[in-house]
Structure 1
Amino acid sequence: MNQSVIRLTRELSELQKSRDLSISVACRDIDVRNVRAVVLGPPDTPYEFGFFEFSLKFGRDYPGKAPTVTSLTTNSGRTRFNPNIYAGGKVCLSILGTWRGERGEEWSSAQGLESILISIQSLMSSNPYENEPGFENANAEHDKENMKMYCLKIRHETLRITVIARLEDYLGINPDGSLVQILSPAPSDDVNDAEHSVMEIEGSVTFEPFKDLCKRRFMWYYDSYLTSIAEERTKVTENQQFVRMPFEHSGNAMEGKFCYTELERRIKFVRERLDKETENWIAEGKVLVQKESGVAANLQRQYEQTVEHYKKSDSVTIDIELVDKNPFLWRVTYFGRPMTNLDGGLFNIELAFSPRFPVETPRAKFLTPFYHYRVTKEGIPCYTPVRADDGRSHIDAIIQLMEEENPPYDPRTQVNADASKLYWGTPEEKRQYNRKLRRSVQDSLECF
């Protein structure tokens, strides 16, 4: 095997196993040299929680030579998201040889896939206007206004293009709210349903490896998107035209106007369709149970094994049952451990499985309100399982989320802004957080 393929395969494997939520990578099994990547827009920037996709083509001389990198999130070549990320897809970075840099900034074989993606993410700063060469010589006052207006339009287009339009495309929604017919991989009766679905997806012309990931993250950050829309709309007037920057020109700019009322309508409809999609999973699952399909049998077996595992566990007390005897919908009842903040709590959580599991990840939701910085107000937990194809692994990850003490701060997992502000605030605010958490624990018994 070519040494470049060996190196690239190792780098891909390391990134796919990483717990870093900022970067995701994928490739077809038959074409490891053509990599796709999604970079999550960094928190506290106008790119926050946007989904920016890139194509990386690695030659046989890699790592001796840098890959060719192209931005795929360009609104069909109409939108330039950064002074260094062009509407045509060009990414200007010294390590890629697409921009002149200082000595020592050029490509070396010590760099690789991860360092490239981190460099791209670094362009998505809180003030991307500064990335334009010659910025330091610009007029200070005029430049100050441009910085502000540039961030405002990037935030609007991050929400419109990278989040809303992307999810609308995945869900078959037209911008006007009408639905289009989309074909999803139909589950078969074969025991290798999931593998067949993967082959269908990988072998298709439109390779979309991040569809499930973006849907899952959208549900995490939905409240954040709505909050951003509410805040940003106060800074501009409806239908106000974008200001063209000095470095933008026809064919390589970000043109448009602020339409936050329309964005709010569209993003709420996306959320409705995602909820409807989850309901459809359950209905499809019932049909597959009757057909005795491979996916249904796999989930039934996983359910039985998971129940047996927790019966033997002394570390946690939970009950698991199938709703309406449907292995595509699990209901988990968690009993809070004694001598902890969750002592006396009784929480119901549902796990809905797709007929295309594990190609599509199960969706979890707290039916019992739970005040936690990693659980949205609607009950969507922000967690990452060790094994996405194992139902028990999802339950383990949710339990770990609930019971975790002294976690490291990660802004990408803070999906309840009010709870997060208290938890990571002053000692008094942390006490307020604990009181609200305890109140949700005490109230949990009233839900039964």
Structure 2
Amino acid sequence: MADQSVFRITKELSELQKNSDLSLAVACRDIDVRNVKALIIGPHETPYEFGFFEFAFKFNKEYPRKSPQVTAITTNGGRCRFNPNIYSNGRVCLSILGTWRGERGEEWSAAQGLESILLSIQSLMSSNPYENEPGFEDANEPSDKKNQKDYVQKIRHETLRVSVIQRLEEYLKIGLDGAVTTPESSKEDYDLDMDTIEDESSTPFEPFKDLCKRRFLWYYDSYLATIQKGMAEVKDGQPFVRMPFEGSNNTMEGKFNYSELERRLHGIKKALDAETEAWAVEGLAAKSKDTTVAVNLQRQFEQIVEFFKRSGTAHNLELVDGNPFVWVLTYFGKPMTNLDGGLFRARLFFSPRFPEEQPRIKFETRLFHHRIAADGTPCYVVPSTRREDVKTHIEAIIEALEEDHPPYDPRTLVHPEAFKLYWGSPEDRRVYNRRLRRSVQQSME
């Protein structure tokens, strides 16, 4: 039975990791598949939008006959109740988990699994989470309407403050004063050959650190837009309104301070950009020591250059100052498309810890495109099985640029203005095409 449950968990983890879902991620230490960490990225057009919400899954030996135990980790140290069904102590109330009374047929069955639980939790993160409160059907008007609005406002604020800003500040070692501290251990990381095996028991398990950093760069402009929206609705210093269902130890207390959140967001962006630039310096040190990663990136660069020559592609690739950790891609716009005639330069930065830390790409040539953020960060996805193959990254970037009929996907909302025009009315799309063409023409000037 135990072996069967491990096999089932391993299979579910593998399937979730393979499908490149842009809003769900799962991970576990290789030695412990019964303890799984999961990340849910808050859905678009909800107060949870693009927040990073972490959960811990503990699978018993009777899985899948019995459901796993699920605990919310993103609670601001037990002080923040993010939903009527997600308590500040980490309790997740769902009928399929047996933690909430449900209708007949809603209880757990062996046909369900890790993904169905994650999707159920994600469905709680709605545009009006007040509706999840059991007594909602009997709610009174109009005071209840006001409660719903007040509840959305404070969840939106705390999603930014706790799930995004606090998380990224911890990853980047940014203090409340905005100063960045570099732990002594990390200063020498790049001096080590990456073949060195770390002691897992003494290393904090943070499987989503790199993912959250890259997604922050995707959604940075959306976070700023959320702040502008919040500033228009509430004043700094205004206290949160307590909801009727919030108890003394199971609530979300605090005050609005969007001005402070804006300052901290700018600080995170600055620190991330500085970290990316620092990779180039670390990379030269790694190159001088002939580390495994440096040799691997040099070889991949040479292979891709040779592939471009053989295939007759116009795209060009070069190293910056001979550094295998910084590449420049010159992309030539595809003929007979809106990109036709364009000449775009993108810089690819690699970490000495690649592929654990994925490359960060930035277009240096301005391009008005719904898949490229205002600062030049492209939104693209590679399969988890191909994360170490740089050619796959380059192909995925080009595919995102050239995609003719992409499916509507708000998880790729990295340039709010371009995204809104692209998916708007026919007239909006014409405006989008004109602005894209103008940026293409400017790239040739």
Q: Provide the residue aligned with 1:246 in structure 2.
A: 244
Amino acid at match of 2:37: R
259-268 or 433-442: bigger deviation: 433-442
> 1:256-310, CA deviations, whole angstroms, 9 ceiling, x for partnerless residues?
0000110000010000000000111111101111122221111101111111112
Pick the aligned partner of 1:351 from 329, 348, 352: 348
Q: 8 Å contact 2:16–2:25 — kept in the other structure?
A: yes
Alpha-carbon distance between aligned partners in 2 of 1:333 and 1:261, rounded to the nearest angstrom: 39
Q: Provide the residue aligned with 2:395 in structure 1.
A: 396
* SS at 1:329 equivalent: strand
Amino acid at match of 1:361: Q
Instruction: Tell me whether 1:372 sits opposite 2:375 in the alignment.
Output: no
* SS at 1:157 equivalent: helix
Instruction: Tell me whether 1:145 sits opposite 2:146 in the alignment.
Output: yes
* SS at 2:158 equivalent: helix
**Relative contact order: is structure 1 or structure 2 higher (C-alpha 8 Å, sep ≥ 6)?**
2
Alpha-carbon distance between aligned partners in 2 of 1:62 and 1:187, rounded to the nearest angstrom: 41
The Cα RMSD (Å) is 1.3
Alpha-carbon distance between aligned partners in 2 of 1:337 and 1:167, rounded to the nearest angstrom: 37
Residues 243-392 of structure 1: matches in 2 within 5 Å?
243-314=241-312, 316-386=313-383, 387-392=386-391
Amino acid at match of 1:412: R
Residues 98-137 of structure 1: matches in 2 within 5 Å?
98-137=99-138
Cα separation, partners in 2 of 1:285 and 1:205, compared to 1, 3 Å = closer
Alpha-carbon distance between aligned partners in 2 of 1:254 and 1:313, rounded to the nearest angstrom: 58
* SS at 1:111 equivalent: coil
Q: 8 Å contact 2:315–2:330 — kept in the other structure?
A: yes
Q: 8 Å contact 1:165–1:175 — kept in the other structure?
A: no
Q: Provide the residue aligned with 2:190 in structure 1.
A: 187
Amino acid at match of 2:362: K
Q: Provide the residue aligned with 2:65 in structure 1.
A: 64
Q: Provide the residue aligned with 2:13 in structure 1.
A: 12
Q: 8 Å contact 1:349–1:364 — kept in the other structure?
A: yes
The two structures have a TM-score, normalised by structure 2, of 0.97
Alpha-carbon distance between aligned partners in 2 of 1:340 and 1:187, rounded to the nearest angstrom: 43
Q: 8 Å contact 1:189–1:294 — kept in the other structure?
A: no
Alpha-carbon distance between aligned partners in 1 of 2:428 and 2:196, rounded to the nearest angstrom: 51
Q: 8 Å contact 1:93–1:99 — kept in the other structure?
A: yes
Q: 8 Å contact 2:39–2:52 — kept in the other structure?
A: yes
> 1:91-111, CA deviations, whole angstroms, 9 ceiling, x for partnerless residues?
000000000000000000000
Alpha-carbon distance between aligned partners in 1 of 2:98 and 2:73, rounded to the nearest angstrom: 19
**Post-superposition shift, 1:19?**
2.3
Q: Provide the residue aligned with 2:425 in structure 1.
A: 426
Amino acid at match of 2:343: L
Which 4+ runs in 1 deviate beyond 6 A? none
Q: Which runs of 5+ in 2 are unaligned?
A: none
Alpha-carbon distance between aligned partners in 2 of 1:13 and 1:188, rounded to the nearest angstrom: 33
**Post-superposition shift, 1:187?**
3.1
Q: 8 Å contact 1:233–1:260 — kept in the other structure?
A: yes
Q: 8 Å contact 2:97–2:107 — kept in the other structure?
A: yes
Q: Which runs of 5+ in 1 are unaligned?
A: none
**Post-superposition shift, 1:205?**
4.5
* SS at 1:36 equivalent: strand
* SS at 1:312 equivalent: helix
Alpha-carbon distance between aligned partners in 1 of 2:49 and 2:75, rounded to the nearest angstrom: 17
Alpha-carbon distance between aligned partners in 2 of 1:135 and 1:422, rounded to the nearest angstrom: 37
Alpha-carbon distance between aligned partners in 2 of 1:161 and 1:65, rounded to the nearest angstrom: 32
222-231 or 416-425: bigger deviation: 416-425
Alpha-carbon distance between aligned partners in 2 of 1:243 and 1:50, rounded to the nearest angstrom: 21
**Post-superposition shift, 1:180?**
3.0
Q: Provide the residue aligned with 2:165 in structure 1.
A: 164
